[in-house]
Every structure is written in C-alpha cells, then in structure tokens.
Structure 1
Amino acid sequence: MLPLQATRETFWTISPTGKAVFYVLAAAAIAVLLYGVYARFARYAAGRSDPIDRLSSLPERTLAATRIVASNEGQFDCDLYAGLMHTFVMWGFLVLLMATTILFVDMDVYGPITGDSFWVGGFYLVYQFAVDAFGLLFVVGISMALWRRYATRSDRLWGKHTSLEDDAFVWSLLLLGVGGFIAEAVAIVGQPARAGESVSFVGMAMATGLLELGLTPAGAAAIYPLVWWHHALLALAFVAWIPYAKPFHMLSSFANVVVRDEDAGARLPNVPADLDHTNAESLEDFTWKELLDQDACTKCGRCSSACPAKASGRNLDPRDVILDLKAYRESREDDPVIGRPANAVPGANGDAPASADGDGDDGTVPIVAEEGGVIDAESMESCMACLACMDACPVEIDHLSTFTRLNRQLVDEGAVDPNLQGVLEDAMRTGNTFGEPADARGEWTEDLPFDVADAREREVEFLWYVGDYPSYDDRNRKVARALARLFEAADVEFGILFDDERYDGNDVRRLGEEFLYLELAGHHVETFADCEFETIVCTDPHSYNTMKNEYPELDFAEFADDPMMPFDREEPWNADGEIDVKHWTQVVEELVADDRLGLSGDELDYTVTYHDPCHLGRYNDEYEAPRELIRATGADLHEMPRSRADSFCCGGGGGGLWTEHDEETKPSEERLREATEDTDAGAAVEKFVVACPMCTTMFEDGRKTGGFEDDLEIVDVAELLLEALEVSDTLDPVAADDADGTAGATAAD
C-alpha cells in the first residue's frame, strides 16, 4: 500500500534542458492555437450582422449550451452507439485536459508560490484513478469511432468532403490515448516505488504485460524519454493544429450551440428594405452565424441520412451544401494561415472555377447558379423545408436559413423553376396558388347544411384561416367541410374571411420570394385588425407556423412607404402574443376534452397510423393533439417507426407540392410503404391519418403512383372525427357532402 504522501516525479528521466525545451514548445503550440482561434473568430466578426439577437442573455445561453453539450443529447438522438462513443471521447478528452491543467497549476503556479504541492496523498490517488478511468473511456470511444468508420463503414461518414484530415483526426486521438497509457506503463516499470499504485489500473495492467515481455526497470528508464517525447510532441502538435482543421469543431460547435436560435427554421430571418441589399451574391452576404455554422459542421452526416430529398434521390445533400460553402470560403480567404490557394476549390459540378462575370480571371464563382455555381440551383429546388436536417444536427446548424438565403438569390436573378414561377405569379395576381378568382374561395361552404359566418361582418370566437388547398382543391374541400361540421356540432362561433383571405405565404417565403410574402402578410394583418375575434385557427400547419412564428417578427414599418406593398401598417402584429394562433387539432382537442362533441371513445374500430406533418411537429412541437383526437374516435393507433420529431416528410414542403423531380421513390410512396410494412400492425393498417392539406394531396398522389390504392385510405383527422360523430348519432350524415365516400363515411360504411 502506498504511503499517505503518494506522488510521482513528473519529468522522470527528462533533463533540465529537455524540460526547458518542452516549455518553449508548449508556449509556441499555445501561441499558434490562440492565433488560429483569433483568426477564425475575427473572420466571423467580419461577417454580416445576424437579424436574430444571438448574444442576448449570454450567461444563460452558455449554461444551457453546457448542459446540452455535456449530456451529448444530440448525439444520442436515434443513435445509441454514436451517443456512447461521443460521450466517451468527449468526457475522456475533457478529463485528461483538466488533469493536465491541474498538474500545470500545481507545478508552475501553486508550487512556486507556496513551496508546497497539493498533488500528493489522497488527491494524487484520486487524480490517478480518474486519469486512468477516463483515459480508458477515451480510448474505447475512439476505438468505437474507428470501428464504425472503417469496419462497418457507416455510409453517412463518407462523402465528397471526406479527406485525410478526418483520418488524421481520429488516428491522432487514438495515438494520444494509447501513447499516454504506454508512457504511464513504462514509468511504472521503471519506478519500483509505484509498484503498488493500483489506482492506475490500466497503467498497472500494461506494466505487468511489459514485465512479462522482459522489460526491466533499467530498460524502462532508458526508453522512457523516447516514449515521453513521442507523446509530448504529438500532444503539442495536436494543440497547435486545433484551429486549422477538424479539431476546431470542439470550439466552434460549442459556440454554435451557445448562439443557437430555438425557433430557427420556424421563423426565417427578415430581409431589410435596402436597395443595395444582396442575398448570396458573394461571401460577404453571409452572416457571422452562417460562417460559424460552416465551421461547426463535423461531417457526421446525420443531416444527410435524415434528409428525405437525399433519400428520394434528389440532388441535395444538406451536409455538402454547408461544406461546399465552407470550402469555397476557405479558398477565397485572405489569411494565408486559415485560407487556402485561391483556385483550390472547383465549382459544384467539378468544373474549373470561373469568375462571377464568366471570364474566370480571379477564380471566383457564383455562390448559387443553375450551372457552375458553388451550389447548384437544383439542390435548392430539391429541399422540402422539412427541418429534418436541423433536427438531426447535434451542433445546431441552421441549414434552412442558409438555404433560404440561396433561394432568395435565385429569385433575385429570376432563376426559378418554371413551375414555381407560375405558382408565384398566380399568388401575386390572384392571392392564391391555384390562380383561381378570389371570390371563389368560399364556394366550398355552399354544400354545408348551414351558413358559415363572415368574420369581417360579425364578432366570432374563432377566426378560421382556411387556406388555399381546403378552399380550392376538391379533395381538401371535403376536409374543410368536415371541420366546419365539427365546429358547428360543438356549437362554436366561427367565421372565415371569404375573398379577403389570401395565401399565407409560408412556402413562397421558403422558396425565396420574400417580397411577395411581405405583401401577403401585410394584407392579412391589416384584415385581422378589422375583425373581432379571440383566436386564429388554421387548417394548414404551414399557415399555422408562419402566422404564429413569423408574422409577429415582420417589421412592417420598414416597408410601409414602399408603393409596391399593399399595406400601410407601421406597427408590428401580435408581437406580445396577445392573439392566440392555433392549429385546428389543438382547438378541437380542447373541445373534445370539454365533451363538446359527445364522443364516448369507442365509435370506430379501425386500425390506423398517423403521419406527423413537419410544420406541426418538428416546427412547432405539437404531437399529442392529433393523437388524442384519433384515440377519441376509438380507432386503434399504431405508430410508424419514424414518428414525431423523426417523421419522414411527405415531399410537399418548400415548394415540393408544385414541382416535379426525378426521384427513385417519391417521399410519399416511401412513407406509405413504411405504414404498411414497417408498422407493428403491418398490412392491417386500414387508414393513413393526416392533419395537413399538403400531406393529404401528396399522399393521395403517392397512393396512386405507388400502388397502395387497395391497401389503405388517406383520411384527415377531421374526417375520422366526423365519421365517429355520425356513428354516435351525435350528428346526422349529410348525403350531399362527400358523396363519393372518400370522407364523412356513414355508420353503414
């Protein structure tokens, strides 16, 4: 057993000259580190200011980020192996770093001041045990990373930006971990006084092995300087390397989590009313947060594996967009340390760099273009704005903010898909994406057995924003009528805007048409101001998202004097949240809970599954209200493997509803396959339940093109509730409504 004052010699067998050389090299490594970190953050500071205040309440932000990073919650999401691996590596590295810092403080601060040492006795023993325990976890974690990268060769770890830098990073960490244990084991062999240091259990085990192999104390003393210098030089080189390659993510990722916007994606950054403003014409257009995003990316591929566009074979990989921008930025950097040769990075299609004006003289390329840009326009057209990439990202990269910036640039240049251009023109000309007359918007109400109130003429409890598809699309009109009958059955005072309702603008904004979005939002908030109501209720989660999260963020005063804008408003709308904006499932769930619909909970006996709409779930964290309504009908709900925050997009968001893509399998087809094959109920699933008009449209199409017409029926939650009411005799069936039997089925059905 070791004596109370157990300790060891730190620079055992290292000469005073060697010790001095080490300190000089350590100072140089730290200086190189600090300069590199300074250069990185100086580059961020030179970026455009961010529209979101990301530095407010910095202490609280830092504490929250520390909790997120310390728990590794992002890494554990849907991947236990990766979560354990990263936890072992991160905490192993941090504890070893803290151990080195403690030793430095004892030797070079506390010792010289007091002439004493605290690195003795019990403290020393605890220290040694912690170093061995966490060092072992560190090596285990790195070994897990190597296994996944090279043995199982996980697809998401390999891509166009995979390079020797990634290999160097992981192997250098392994060498650091193993090298430290080898140095410890050799020192134990060479220092008989440490023979009983059982707390150093890894070092002792390895020392026993070395003794069995014939290493003597004298031999250990002879080779220890070589082992020690190998480990020390590798450690110092790694420290100096941190800001210039992949290890920098240890700093940039934490910083990115600190400055995250919890509503990112659900609310997009605004565009200033500045005639000189450009969106993605050059690198100077990007905000400091977008530059930080690029450096925070660890190439883990989680966003790529979660992306439904990539899974469907579209020309989009979220990781590559971020890293393509980073690579181009670094190729153009003025700083010779951080940057690379100006012509190091080709265009997105592998072509030689060309200048923005096409002459190729200065090596610049357009940031986004149909051909020859850093980013292909087709990649942006492929995005469904579903937020799967952002939800999967463990370091809080705001992919959609960058994608929207690129889309805005394409709109500025008129480089928009012809189908989308037609939709944008229809929305501008008629106020709806169908190009139909505004006075036809309320025609869906004509088949109801009651009159729907005009919210412009009378006070109502619920101002119902119906939306484009429930107003004009025949299939979704049935959903609108079903919901109207539910409101009527619950004796709710509701009204609609009829021809004063316009398209909400959520998806055209994500397509990059910011000024059309402003026109639509300005019209609506002025219309709302002329009505008396308590709550805005939206049929479509897309409408719900933008009215709840984005309309209150708009600075109408900045555009009020613009003759192109059809509004005079100068005050923000609903900035304090005094007006409730809800999705209809949230409202009806409250009505059911209050027994306003008289359901007993056993009306229907269907086997169903439910698809979480992206804009209701990932965007706004509403998962339970639709499920409660499904359960209220008596239907047997079975979850798909990808549900709630991991739901797989229908393919309709971000303009996908209006475009055609060369896809291996449509997202809607893949989702229906999952419902019928991967769900616990399997082929027994009768109804595929949705809560979004866009989802209804996409899945009705996928049901036909994917050959699922005989397998299951697409129904909205409102249609399921309506059928339950009819079965319970609470509501009489209306023969004229949905006569084809698609929705509102009677008990006889």
Structure 2
Amino acid sequence: MSSILQTTTRPTFWRIGDVGKALFYYLAALAVIVFLYGVYNRVTRYAKGSEDPFERLDELPQRTVAAAQLALSNRKQLDRDTVAGVMHAFIVWGFLTLLIGTTILGIDIDFYRPLTGESFFVGRFYLSYSFVMDAMGLLFVVGVGVALWRRYGRKLDRLHDRHTSREDDLFLGSLFVLGVGGYLTEGVRILGTSTVRDVSFETVSFVGWSVKEVLVMAGMTPEMAAGAYPFVWWSHSLVALWFVAWIPYAKPFHMLSSFANLVARDEKAGVRLPGVPSDASPEEIGPSDIDDFSWKQLLDHDACTKCGRCSSVCPAKASGRPLDPRNVILDLKRYREERDAGGEDVPIIADGGTSVIDAHTMESCMSCMACMDACPVDIEHVTQFTEMNRRLTEAGEMDEHVQDAMMNVFQHGNTFGDPERARPDWTEDLDFEVPDARDEPVEYIWYVGDYPSYDERNQKIAQALARVFEAADVDYGILYEAEQTDGNDVRRVGEEGLYEMLVEDNAEAILDCEFESIVTTDPHAYNTFMNEYPEFEACEWGEDDVFHYTQVVADLASAGALGLAGTELDYTVTYHDPCHLGRYNGEFEAPRDLIRATGADLHEMPRNRDDSFCCGGGGGGLWMDLEEETKPSEERLREALEDTEAGAAVEKFVVACPMCMTMYEDGRKTGGYEEDLEIVGVTELLAEAVSES
C-alpha cells in the first residue's frame, strides 16, 4: 500500500527537459525582479507625498489581521451587491489558494527534495492537494466568468466610464486565461501520462479529469496529448510569469495596494477631519501640487479598482451635479502618472481654467460619506475633497452663497445673519421657562443649533423637544445667546480657520457651565462635538459625553419616563436616516425605537441605515443654489411613496435632523408632494404622543 501511495503523485517538468527547466527558472527570476522593481517604484513614489496627519501604521500586527479579515470576508463587497460580493469572494479565495498551492509545490521541488532526497508531494497529501486546488480553482474561474458577464454581457453601468480602458479588459482576460489554462494543462498532462502509468487516482482532480474526458471525446489520443503538452505547459507558464511581472504596473496592483489601504485605514476618516498646521501659510493650505496629498492619499488613488460603487451611491451624481467620486480619485491618479512622465504642471483645483479638478465638482459634494461607506477598499474620498475645498477657500474661490453664510457666521455666530440676541426667541412661545445652563448646574447642556433657533419650521422641533424634556423631568439647560453655530459644515466647505474660532468660542461657553453631558438637536453638531472638538485643547470633554437627543429620549422612553403606552398614534410613517447620525456615527435604532414607542406603523425605505440616501443639505449644500436634474430630497420622497412597502399609504416622513427637515420641506414643494405626505420630526411625533397619553 505504501509503495502505491509513493507513486500517487504527478510528474513535474514532464517533457520540459533540463534546458527548459533552466529557462523557466531564469524567466521566473526575471519576472520576480521586474515585479519587485515595480513595487519599489510604487512605494518610493508614495514617500514623495506629504506626511499624513493621522497615525496609519501603529499597532501594525492588529491592523494587518483586521485588514485580512475584511479582505477574506468580502464584507464590504457583499454590501448592496450580493452577486458582486460572492463573485469577488470566489476570485480572491480561488486566487489565494492557487498561489499557496503553487508555493507549496515550489517548496517541495526547490527545497525539500534537494535537502532530503524525498518528496512530500505524494500519497494522501497529493490527493488532498489536488482536490482542494481543483475545487478552489473552479471557484476562481466561475468568479472571473461572472465578472466578465457583468462587464461585457450585462454591461453594468457603474463598470463603464471615462477611465475604463483596455487595461480592464486585459486584467480580466488574463485571469480567465490563467484559470482555464491551468485546467487545460492538467487535462493534457493526465491524458498524456496515461500511456506510461495508471492515472485513475487523478479523478480527485475532478475538473482536470473532466477536461481530459472532453479532450478524448474531441479525438485527442494520449500520444497527441504527450506531444502537445510542452506547448500547452509553456503557454500557461509564460502567461503566469508575464502576469507576475505586470502586477505593479497596471490594474493588478490593486491586489496589493487595496490590502495596504485596508491596513492603513483610519476608522474615523471623514467623521473627523485633519486640522491645518498652525504654522501653515495660506499657500500651504489644501493641495496645490500632487505631492501635497499625503502618502496615504496617493495610496488611495492606486487602490481604486474602478468598480464604481462610490459613483452608484453618490447623491450628487444621481442628482446631476458635476461630481463622480470615482473619477475625482482616478483623475488625480492619472495626473500624477502623466506629470511623473514629464507632463505639464497644472493646478489641482480651480474655478475655471485648466486644472485637474474643477471647483464646481468639489462644491457638489454633500459630505454624506456614502462613497466611503460603499468603497470596498476604504478610499477616503471625503477627506481629500474637503482639503481641496480648503484650497478653494484660501484662493478666494468659494461659492458666493457659501461665502455669505460664512460671513454671517463670522459676524453673528449663525448662518442666517440674525442677531445673537434672537437665538432664544423660540422659547417665548412655550408655557414654561427653558432653564439657562449659564445660571444653574444641569445634567444636560442642550445645544439647540442654528436651524432650530432661527428657522421657523425647525423652531417647532425645538419647542417639541423642550416639551418632551419637561414631560420627562429632564435636568437640562441651554446656552441662550452664548451659543454659536457648531461649525461641522463650516469645516467641510473648507473654512478651517473659522471652524477653529467656533470651537474655541463654543467650548468656552460650554465649559463656563456646570454640566455632565451635552445633548444636540442636530446630528451635524453631534458629530463634530463628539469626534472633532475633543481634538482641540480648548475642549475638556470626550466622545462619551456627547449625545444626540434621540439617544437621550429613547432611554427616557424605555424607562417609562414619558408614560407612553405605545398605542397613542396610528400613523403610517417612514423614517429617513440622517447621514451624520447614521452612516457617520452608527446610530440607527434610537430614532426607530422612539417612533415605535408612539404607536406609529413604521415602514422602511429600501435605502435605509448605512445605505440611506442623503437629503442634499450636507457639505454646504443647504446654502448653495445648484443646478440639479432631480433634487436628492425629491428623489428620497419619491422613494418613500413608491418604493416603500406601504407605498402611497405613508402619511408622514419622519426626520431627526433640522437640515433634513429644511431640505425635505423644500423637496415636498418643488417635487409636488405637498398633498401626499407630511414632513415631521421625531420630537413632534413624541410630543403629540405624550399629549395623547
């Protein structure tokens, strides 16, 4: 039995000869040298970029393990597109298995055999190896086949754009040729060696055996297979070696750069933005040259696989604004490559004239982070977009409407340009006095925000929340006229200096009070108070000290403080996840718990939670007058009435963000939905339910 197992193997370099074997090793060494040289050039190119403001390579072992888990699980590829996720999993797992299998064979041939005079590539090990390689190789071929069908058969829109090129065709084609070529080589070998030995054990290589059977049915004899084998083997080997050498110079490099990007990712990218060095001159703020981007951002550009997932979820692109996140990243990459090859220097971003990125493209960004959430390799679009907005700001090329809002903030502390003393006027219509946190210790400082303070529609939200707080006997207070705009969107349109001024002023006003926690009405304020303010010396609170009002009130409701029986309201409603509460900070359930607590019948829109579709107000969109084919708010209201399970039965469109309220009230008018549904805040539903209880 042991002698039989010892012959249960396959011949290596069969019919290739000593000269052929030497030539193969020479070409393999050459391919590896070309590969390593290409990788070296890539890495040294990144080193020419600026230093990244965040730590990217600390705790490297933990980062690498986390990146491997992401890559092997294909979790992000499965999001929104199950077929693509499974397809990519087949390709990745199959490719890695074939790579590992080839490495194992190389270890046996080049190290184990010369050192021991024996081979471990025999018997049960060989049989197990052959089965696993055939099974995983089949997954690889199937995965590549699906990718080819989606690109060329189905012609999926997001896979085709101005950066689509022959490189994409060659990449997928070479993978398919490698996969199929491996099975063809195996089938020819099994048939060719059948004249000199018993090959019945090769049935474990079920795909290769099936190929052999097909060749027999096609009329190929063992002698013909033996004669053809050297040609088939060399064809497959040369394609494989060429592919190895090609990896660092074209699209296949994403297999390395994407993984490196996952290793170096910042889990709070976009949620918190990098500051500007205190000693930076105006010319140094924002990228003027391609090397002003950090090494991680240059890696971002190379990690892009052109999959178009970011483009397919971008609300700016969907509304007809001149922004495609993928094209911005790839435009920067192409410019870098052309410039490195001796091309002309042009500005990175400008309003008119020749530049890599046009100003209107960046102004179109809503900072909703849908692109980053959808990206399977964690490209940090929003951070780069914000830094380009900073360059526009320093160059005096900011949108005129945004300039007006920024001037209002500078002069009056709010984007409306209304007097500071008018900020608490909304409290005058209440039948109780709202406590002043400056005069007495409170558990919660309630940061009300601009829109609930000055906008007539959103004042009703503030008043409803005040009533809820009173009903629950919450120990709270507000800052009255000492409050200024939070600055989240001021920062995201590029006004870093003004933002830092707001941080100092708001922090001083808050820290002059005696309090335990901060609660905000606006998710934008919640995000910046929790994730960005604490990075400034002026602040003395941490992320655990900041809450959105839905979180606080949800706890109150669950504790019975609101006296709700859960049957007070019988409306049919849907809920819109605000980007800064949901996608930014992962709070999805508190608002839903509150809606259900009122007794309302909640129906989800197809795009919900992480996949929510932006209202269009973020990133300064609330202040701009942009040309759009369909406003994001109009598209979202259409989704609520047409794509939600309840359909036209939806009576109320529930929001938890003042900016969303403003955008959807506008979309309800411009989209012709005024008679179809009502826009209401979570607090308004709660206040009504509390009054009914």
Asked if TM exceeds 0.5, the reply is yes
Residue 620 of structure 2 is aligned to residue 655 of structure 1: yes
Matches within 5 A, 1:281-360: 281-333=288-340, 341-343=341-343
1:158 corresponds to: 160
Q: Distance in 1 between matches of 2:422 and 2:287?
A: 39
**Corresponding letter in the other structure for 2:295:** W
1:112 corresponds to: 114
Q: Is the CA contact (8 Å cut-off) linking 2:572 and 2:602 kept in structure 1?
A: yes
Q: Distance in 2 between matches of 1:279 and 1:491?
A: 48
1:121-161 CA distances to partner (integer Å, 9 max, x unpaired)? 00001111111111111110010000000011000000110
Residue 421 of structure 2 is aligned to residue 436 of structure 1: no
Q: 87-96 or 187-196: which moved more?
A: 187-196
**Corresponding letter in the other structure for 2:191:** V
1:369 corresponds to: 350
Q: Is the CA contact (8 Å cut-off) linking 2:520 and 2:526 kept in structure 1?
A: yes
Matches within 5 A, 1:417-456: 417-456=399-438
Residue 242 of structure 2 is aligned to residue 237 of structure 1: yes
2:486 corresponds to: 504
Deviation at 1:452? 1.0
1:59 corresponds to: 61
Residue 443 of structure 2 is aligned to residue 461 of structure 1: yes
1:523 corresponds to: 505
Q: Is the CA contact (8 Å cut-off) linking 2:452 and 2:461 kept in structure 1?
A: yes
What is the SS of the residue equivalent to 2:176?
Answer: helix
1:10 corresponds to: 12
Q: Distance in 2 between matches of 1:476 and 1:3?
A: 83
Which of 617, 620, 640 is the aligned partner of 2:605? 640
Q: Distance in 2 between matches of 1:3 and 1:420?
A: 81
Residue 189 of structure 2 is aligned to residue 222 of structure 1: no
Q: Distance in 1 between matches of 2:345 and 2:46?
A: 20
TM-score using structure 2 length: 0.98
What is the SS of the residue equivalent to 2:519?
Answer: strand
Matches within 5 A, 1:684-699: 684-699=649-664
What is the SS of the residue equivalent to 1:504?
Answer: coil
Residue 230 of structure 2 is aligned to residue 265 of structure 1: no
Q: Distance in 2 between matches of 1:589 and 1:200?
A: 59
Structure 1 gaps of 5+ residues are 334-340, 344-362, 557-568, 729-749
Q: Distance in 2 between matches of 1:317 and 1:618?
A: 20
What is the SS of the residue equivalent to 1:53?
Answer: coil
Residue 554 of structure 2 is aligned to residue 589 of structure 1: yes
Q: Distance in 1 between matches of 2:31 and 2:584?
A: 44
Q: Distance in 2 between matches of 1:600 and 1:404?
A: 46
Residue 530 of structure 2 is aligned to residue 548 of structure 1: yes
What is the SS of the residue equivalent to 2:204?
Answer: coil
Which of 39, 43, 49 is the aligned partner of 2:51? 49
**Corresponding letter in the other structure for 1:329:** R
1:504-553 CA distances to partner (integer Å, 9 max, x unpaired)? 00001000100000000011112222110111000000000000000012
Q: Is the CA contact (8 Å cut-off) linking 1:278 and 1:285 kept in structure 2?
A: no
Deviation at 1:653? 0.4
Q: 213-222 or 149-158: which moved more?
A: 213-222
Deviation at 1:116? 1.1
Q: Distance in 2 between matches of 1:405 and 1:268?
A: 9
1:738 corresponds to: none
TM-score using structure 1 length: 0.91
Deviation at 1:284? 1.9
Deviation at 1:45? 2.1
What is the SS of the residue equivalent to 1:442?
Answer: helix
1:564 corresponds to: none
**Corresponding letter in the other structure for 2:618:** G
1:595-639 CA distances to partner (integer Å, 9 max, x unpaired)? 111000000000000000000000000000000000000000000
Q: Is the CA contact (8 Å cut-off) linking 1:188 and 1:195 kept in structure 2?
A: no
The CA RMSD measured in Å over matched residues stands at 1.1
Q: Distance in 2 between matches of 1:160 and 1:656?
A: 26
Q: Is the CA contact (8 Å cut-off) linking 1:613 and 1:695 kept in structure 2?
A: yes
Q: Distance in 2 between matches of 1:623 and 1:3?
A: 62
Residue 679 of structure 2 is aligned to residue 714 of structure 1: yes
1:651-707 CA distances to partner (integer Å, 9 max, x unpaired)? 000001011111111000000000000000000000000000000000000000000
Q: Which has the higher helix share?
A: 2
Which of 685, 688, 692 is the aligned partner of 1:723? 688
**Corresponding letter in the other structure for 1:29:** A
Residue 379 of structure 2 is aligned to residue 412 of structure 1: no
Deviation at 1:275? 3.3
Q: Distance in 2 between matches of 1:700 and 1:278?
A: 37
Deviation at 1:283? 1.3
1:22 corresponds to: 24
1:744 corresponds to: none
What is the SS of the residue equivalent to 1:275?
Answer: coil
Q: Is the CA contact (8 Å cut-off) linking 2:479 and 2:510 kept in structure 1?
A: no
What is the SS of the residue equivalent to 1:202?
Answer: helix
Q: Is the CA contact (8 Å cut-off) linking 1:25 and 1:236 kept in structure 2?
A: yes
Structure 2 gaps of 5+ residues are none
What is the SS of the residue equivalent to 2:680?
Answer: strand
1:361-420 CA distances to partner (integer Å, 9 max, x unpaired)? xx1111001122100100101000000000000000000011011000000100011101
Which of 551, 568, 573 is the aligned partner of 2:540? 573
Deviation at 1:727? 1.3
Matches within 5 A, 1:185-264: 185-192=187-194, 193=197, 194-264=199-269
Deviation at 1:573? 3.1
**Corresponding letter in the other structure for 2:390:** R
Which of 439, 442, 455 is the aligned partner of 1:473? 455
Query: How many equivalent residue pairs?
Result: 685
Q: Is the CA contact (8 Å cut-off) linking 1:189 and 1:195 kept in structure 2?
A: no
Percent identity between matched residues is 63
1:164-211 CA distances to partner (integer Å, 9 max, x unpaired)? 000000000000001111110100110113244110101111101111
1:564-584 CA distances to partner (integer Å, 9 max, x unpaired)? xxxxx4xx532x54x610000
- CA shift in 2, pair 1:114/1:196, >3 Å: closer
What is the SS of the residue equivalent to 1:31?
Answer: helix
Deviation at 1:503? 0.4
What is the SS of the residue equivalent to 2:269?
Answer: coil
Q: Distance in 1 between matches of 2:569 and 2:511?
A: 42
1:413-437 CA distances to partner (integer Å, 9 max, x unpaired)? 0001110110011111110000011
What is the SS of the residue equivalent to 2:467?
Answer: helix
Residue 578 of structure 2 is aligned to residue 613 of structure 1: yes
Q: Distance in 2 between matches of 1:175 and 1:500?
A: 68
Q: Distance in 2 between matches of 1:239 and 1:124?
A: 26
Q: Distance in 1 between matches of 2:203 and 2:426?
A: 80
Q: Distance in 1 between matches of 2:691 and 2:68?
A: 53
